[in-house]
């Protein structure tokens, strides 16, 4: 841990903290829409790091991750909206959402324990769709999820009198709703980063990586692969559940549409493109993939006007075209991801003492 | 012989019509180096896989250290004190040599998720102990220089040694080596022999599958010969070498 004390790292860290704290105010100069884009970027960082536990660490290809996000989102929506007339506070609901998503993680995990690779991907994909279809149809005979209409008027996050839906003034600084969510999300994201980092270099994290590398050898050294795979599913799912809860509160509205297969694929793409199993890479992947389509949304139209003087191609289709091309190019030229785990080289003999 | 460490009682295993093991019974004494030889396809590796729980035997079973060995979960074999290496090396390729050995400590440690997240003092000291032990084991098999290299980048001989270190990390009573000298030259084989001898001196019983007859006969206290899944003979090397059936089946005239 002594590396944190060296002045250059300390300076860099301070700089990052200041930048992160100032970011929502800079983004607000371009309008609150940009703060919301930032918020989603952080939400995706959170989701991608949750999925990274399952895919990156334990090597279990999960294409239905969005199901846990949906479970968390609906848990929040049902417990804090006029739909059932319940208005629980968010710090009660978020752990509930995590626990319920965790339960679903185990439910999904247990039948897939013997599957690997493609087969696991297909089964998890199916599970993701099942959850969405359930949400879509659980409005009869008893109306639980309100079907395709979704649930509206979900309570925003509130701490005491501080409601996250409106603008407040603290010490002369005006703080908008999205800006407040930014800080909440940032805190949660830092928490999940720390958990990821600590798990990676732990007994459990090593066992996950061993399962990823060679399951038979992992069994032979005494790793209970069944329990550890379930643990990976459960942990990944809990993070998905928390993210879903925050999403619900932030949007004030959930419907099954938000939890389609493409969302699962996007989150997986963030993990894979960033650098599977490498935490900074996954963060980079999540930020880029969530911001790039939005930046293109705002950029493509004006650039066309400036260059050609008129709209040649519908900006909305061009945007996804460029986005797709970018993904293909990354996979072509950086197959291990944008920022993969460095191939560790033998440290200089003098540095060998750092093992103590 | 005193109470044997491992007793195999009438172990049988078949794959469809192929009888890979038929009624194999062995006794391996504590502190022995016990050789298992036989032509290709004789059932040696199948025997290993039954012993370490990768296969469930179709008949018979094992008694290890006085207790029957339940054949349903491989991780329990390691817990009971049976460690193994693989004929075609199975390391965790994208983890460092040190991490590979640290994984071997999994079964003798207990740190969980909460400990890892909270980094409490118990977890930290256990983690430090795991790392110290792993470094010691890398020294023991003489590849400490390669501690920070990814396992997949190690040379063939070093990979074999790393696999042995990882197996030793589980504190085994019985170490099962599946053709450790395959593909090694004379010097490497001599070093390996020294290593195995040292492991036995340090109190671990060794079960060795090997094709290198010179190595087996020179190193092992007792040798069993398998042919077509059946036990031909089990005796000291001097007797085995002179047995007519063994010469016909395996050693060649």
Chain A residues within an 8 Å CB radius of B95:
206, 209-210, 213
CB–CB contact B95 A235 (8 Å): no
CB–CB contact B90 A346 (8 Å): no
What was the pLDDT predicted at B106? Answer: 94
Q: Please report whether residue A227 resides in a domain.
A: yes
Which one of B45, B49, B70, B74 would you mutate to disrupt binding with A, by most A Cβ within 10 Å of its Cβ? B74
Q: Mind listing the pLDDT tens digit for each residue in A55-65?
A: 999 999 999 99
Q: Enumerate residues 44 to 63 of chain B having a beta carbon within 8 A of any beta carbon in chain A.
A: 52-54
Chain B residues within an 8 Å CB radius of A53:
none
Q: Mind listing the pLDDT tens digit for each residue in A10-22?
A: 888 888 888 888 8
B245 pLDDT band, cuts 50/70/90, is: confident
CB–CB contact A206 B106 (8 Å): yes
What was the pLDDT predicted at A173? Answer: 74
What was the pLDDT predicted at B71? Answer: 66
Chain A residues within an 8 Å CB radius of B77:
220, 222
Contact A273, A330 (CB under 8 A): yes
A336 pLDDT band, cuts 50/70/90, is: confident
Where is B9: in which H helix or E strand? Answer: strand B4-15
Chain B nearest C-alpha distance from A343 (Å): 8
Number of domains in chain A: 1
CB–CB contact B52 A220 (8 Å): yes
Q: Mind listing the pLDDT tens digit for each residue in A145-172?
A: 888 888 888 888 877 777 777 777 777 7
Number of neighbours of residue B75 by Cβ within 10 angstroms: 22
A343, pLDDT greater than 70:
no
Q: Considering only A10-14, A113-117, A325-329, B77-81, which range has the smallest mean pLDDT?
A: A113-117
Chain A residues within an 8 Å CB radius of B139:
none
In this prediction, residues A28-43 reach a mean pLDDT of 87
Give the residue carrying structure tokens 């540095």: A351
Q: Which of A199, A205, A213 sits opposite B92 (nearest CB)?
A: A213
Chain B nearest C-alpha distance from A253 (Å): 33
Instruction: Tell me which of A262 and A5 has the higher pLDDT.
Output: A262
Q: Please report whether residue A326 resides in a domain.
A: no
Q: Please report whether residue A256 resides in a domain.
A: yes
Which one of B69, B103, B132 would you mutate to disrupt binding with A, by most A Cβ within 10 Å of its Cβ? B103
What was the pLDDT predicted at A326? Answer: 83
Q: Which of B77, B96, B113 sits opposite A204 (nearest CB)?
A: B113
Chain A residues within an 8 Å CB radius of B73:
219, 224
What was the pLDDT predicted at B161? Answer: 94
Mean pLDDT over all residues of chain A? 85
Q: Considering only A106-120, A125-139, B221-235, which range has the smallest mean pLDDT?
A: A106-120
B51, pLDDT greater than 70:
yes
Chain A nearest C-alpha distance from B240 (Å): 31
What was the pLDDT predicted at A312? Answer: 75
B47, pLDDT greater than 50:
yes
What beta strand segments (E) does chain A contain? Answer: 80-81, 86-87, 158-159, 162-163, 168-170, 173-175
Instruction: Tell me which of B25 and A146 has the higher pLDDT.
Output: B25
Q: Mind listing the pLDDT tens digit for each residue in B115-154?
A: 999 888 999 999 999 999 999 999 999 999 999 999 999 9
B188 touching A (Cβ < 8 Å): no
What was the pLDDT predicted at A17? Answer: 86
A175, pLDDT greater than 60:
yes
What was the pLDDT predicted at A349? Answer: 40
CB–CB contact B106 A235 (8 Å): no
Q: Mind listing the pLDDT tens digit for each residue in B87-118?
A: 999 999 999 999 999 999 999 998 888 999 98
Give the separation between CA A210 and CA A222, rounded to whole angstroms.
Answer: 11
What was the pLDDT predicted at A112? Answer: 87
Q: Which of A49, A101, A109, A43 is nearest to A238 (CA)?
A: A101
A351, pLDDT greater than 50:
no
Q: Please report whether residue A7 resides in a domain.
A: no
What was the pLDDT predicted at B252? Answer: 64
Give the separation between CA A225 and CA A59, rounded to whole angstroms.
Answer: 12
Domain of residue A253 covers 29-274
Contact A57, A209 (CB under 8 A): yes
CATH 3.40.50.300 occupies which residues in chain B? Answer: 1-81+172-253
Q: Which of A217, A222, A231 sits opposite B113 (nearest CB)?
A: A231
What was the pLDDT predicted at A345? Answer: 43
In this prediction, residues A327-337 reach a mean pLDDT of 86
What was the pLDDT predicted at A86? Answer: 86
Q: What is the arrangement of strands in the sheet containing B4-15, beginning at the earlier edge strand?
A: B18-29, B4-15, B59-64, B67-68
What was the pLDDT predicted at A347? Answer: 42
Q: Mind listing the pLDDT tens digit for each residue in A277-297?
A: 889 999 999 999 888 888 887
* Residue B194: partners with Cβ closer than 8 Å, 6 or more residues away: none
Contact B76, B104 (CB under 8 A): no
Domain B1-81+172-253 architecture: 3-Layer(aba) Sandwich (3.40)
- The per-residue b/e assignment along A253-291, b for 16 or more CB within 10 angstroms, e otherwise, is ebbbebbeeebbebbbbbbbbbbbbbbebbbbbbbbbbb
Q: Which of A209, A220, A355 sits opposite B95 (nearest CB)?
A: A209
Give the separation between CA B108 and CA B105, rounded to whole angstroms.
Answer: 5
């Amino acid at each position: 841990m002594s590396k944190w004390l060296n002045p250059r790292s300390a300076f860099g860290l301070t700089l990052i903290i200041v930048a992160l704290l100032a970011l929502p105010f800079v983004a607000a100069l371009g309008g609150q829409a940009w703060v919301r884009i930032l918020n989603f970027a952080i939400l995706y960082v959170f989701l991608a790091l949750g999925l990274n536990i399952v895919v990156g660490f334990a090597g279990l290809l999960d294409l239905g991750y969005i199901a846990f996000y949906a479970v968390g989102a609906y848990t929040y929506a049902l417990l804090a909206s006029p739909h059932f007339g319940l208005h629980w506070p968010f710090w009660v609901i978020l752990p509930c959402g995590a626990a319920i998503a965790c339960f679903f993680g185990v439910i999904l995990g247990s039948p897939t324990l013997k599957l690997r690779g493609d087969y696991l991907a297909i089964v998890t994909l199916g599970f993701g769709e099942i959850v969405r279809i359930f949400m879509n149809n659980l409005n009869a005979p008893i109306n639980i999820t309100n079907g395709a209409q979704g649930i509206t008027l979900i309570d925003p996050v509130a701490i005491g009198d501080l409601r996250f839906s409106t603008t407040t003034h603290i010490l002369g600084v005006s703080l908008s709703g999205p800006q407040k969510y930014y800080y909440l999300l940032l805190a949660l994201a830092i928490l999940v980063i720390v958990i990821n980092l600590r798990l990676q270099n732990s007994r459990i994290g090593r066992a996950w990586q061993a399962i990823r590398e060679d399951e038979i050898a992992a069994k032979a050294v005494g790793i209970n692969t069944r329990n550890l795979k379930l643990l990976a599913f459960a942990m990944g799912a809990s993070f998905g559940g928390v993210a879903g809860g925050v999403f619900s509160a932030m949007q004030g509205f959930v419907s099954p549409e938000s939890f389609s297969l493409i969302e699962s694929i996007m989150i997986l793409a963030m993990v894979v493109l960033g650098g599977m199993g490498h935490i900074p890479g996954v963060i980079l992947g999540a930020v880029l993939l969530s911001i790039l389509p939005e930046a293109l949304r705002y950029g493509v139209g004006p650039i066309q006007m400036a260059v050609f003087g008129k709209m040649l191609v519908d900006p909305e289709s061009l945007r996804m075209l460029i986005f797709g091309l970018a993904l293909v190019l990354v996979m072509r030229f950086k197959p291990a991801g944008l920022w993969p785990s460095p191939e560790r080289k033998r440290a200089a003999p003098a540095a060998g003492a750092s093992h103590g | 012989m005193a109470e044997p460490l491992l007793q195999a009682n009438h172990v049988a295993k078949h794959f469809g019509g192929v009888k890979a093991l038929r009624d194999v019974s062995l006794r391996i004494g504590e502190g022995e180096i016990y050789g298992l030889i036989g032509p290709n396809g004789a059932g040696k590796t199948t025997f290993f896989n039954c012993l370490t729980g990768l296969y469930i035997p179709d008949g018979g079973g094992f008694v290890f250290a006085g207790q029957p060995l339940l054949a349903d979960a491989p991780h329990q074999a390691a817990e009971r004190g049976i460690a193994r290496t693989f004929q075609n090396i199975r390391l965790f390729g994208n983890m460092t040599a040190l991490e590979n050995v640290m994984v071997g400590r999994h079964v003798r440690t207990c740190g969980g998720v909460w400990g890892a997240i909270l980094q409490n003092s118990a977890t930290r000291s256990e983690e430090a102990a795991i790392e110290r032990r792993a470094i010691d084991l890398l020294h023991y098999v003489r590849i400490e220089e390669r501690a920070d290299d990814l396992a997949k980048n190690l040379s063939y001989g070093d990979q074999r040694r790393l696999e042995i270190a990882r197996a030793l990390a589980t504190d085994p009573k019985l170490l099962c080596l599946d053709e450790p000298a395959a593909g090694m030259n004379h010097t490497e084989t001599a070093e390996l022999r020294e290593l195995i001898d040292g492991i036995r001196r340090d109190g671990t019983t060794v079960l060795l599958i090997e094709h290198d007859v010179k190595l087996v006969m020179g190193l092992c206290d007792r040798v069993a010969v398998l042919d077509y899944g059946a036990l031909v003979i089990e005796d000291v090397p001097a007797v085995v070498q002179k047995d007519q059936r063994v010469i016909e089946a395996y050693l060649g005239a």
